[in-house]
Amino acid sequence: VRPDGALVDTPAPGIYLYPGHVETVVHGLGQALTTLLGTDLQRSLRTPPVIARSIIERAGYHESFPHLLGRVTTQAGSGMPAESDLVLLPAGCYCVYPLYADTRLTSATELSVEATCFRQEGSAEMGRLRSFRMREFVWIGPGEQCLSWRDRCLSAVRGWLTDLGLTTETAVASDPFFGAGSRLIRQLQIEQGLKIEILATVGKGQIQAVASGNYHKDQFGRLFAIFDHTGNITHSACLAFGYERLVLALIHRHGDDPNRWPGRVRDMLRLGALA
Ligand code: ATP
Ligand code: ZN
Ligand code: MG
């Protein structure tokens, strides 16, 4: 058991078991996020931890982040082990774009997704898991509205986290793209402010993103042939939360026993009935 008692170690680095009180907090966070950001949702989905490999390939994830992707090998009948038609889901929003592939949206669309994600992370520091849970809100619509949606959400989220007692900062960030052009892509991503992270302390001396807001421009619209009501390739944005990191940040701030967290925090997360 980790010193903070939040996540229970297993023999595999970055893979943890979650005690009941952690699950109760995760559930409370999920409900609070729905209240905060989920008022205009077209759909609210839960995805399994695997996704069609064809989707991940259509999205180009296997080329941008091959070092993070978990592949699945299966052996059918008496045949040889072979790569399956599935891969481990690396982020929630990949399951959303195929829903609208080759269609024209009549209006902007907002969805929520709950996902269990896998990434083959290079280290297992506190808060950097290989299997973790992500809540995403995805906004699909005309470009000029994507950024304002993302930034409006980010500011609401910062206020919410402050009310939960957490000290946060925001930072323009970039993703760890793979390959020769990686440095350039990251630089462009930063210059254009496409990825904004909300950072919090998740453990002693450990500051990490508890939420990230991404503006994809027309990347997924183009790859999945999604058009907006004007007939243009649609743009999209997503806002993603790491449940385990949020729990770790709350435990770091308020202690490892949620029963003893401040009343206001307990109310916000509806922890009243905690045993
Ligand atoms: P980091 O910079 O810490 O690697 P990221 O940029 O890879 O994070 P995203 O891809 O934007 O993160 O994922 C969305 C959210 O999922 C993050 O803001 C974070 O809260 C959470 N998350 C990402 N990677 C992990 C992980 N390895 N373990 C736990 N939570 C994670
Ligand atoms: Zn996303
Ligand atoms: Mg990462």
- Give residue-wise pLDDT tens across range 41-98: 999 999 999 999 999 999 999 999 999 999 999 998 888 999 999 999 999 999 999 9
Select from 208, 210, 244 the residue to mutate for testing ligand 1; criterion: most ligand atoms less than 8 Å from CB. Answer: 208
User: Which residues does a 6 A CB cutoff place in the pocket of ligand 1?
Assistant: 91, 119, 121, 127-129, 132, 134, 173, 175, 208-212, 240-242, 244-245
pLDDT at 79: 87
Q: Which of 113, 117, 211 is nearest to 164 (CA)?
A: 211
Task: Read off the pLDDT of residues 176-205 as tens digits, 9 standing for 90 and up.
Answer: 999 999 999 999 999 999 999 999 999 999
- Residues 118-142: what's their mean pLDDT? 96
Taking the CA of 118 as reference, the closest ligand is: 1
Burial label for 263, CB within 10 Å (0-12, 13-18, 19+), is exposed
In terms of Cβ atoms closer than 10 Å to its own Cβ (0-12, 13-18, 19+), residue 11 is exposed
Q: How far, rounded to the nearest angstrom, does the alpha carbon of residue 97 sit from its chain's CA centroid?
A: 15
What is the pLDDT, as a whole number, of residue 5?
Answer: 66
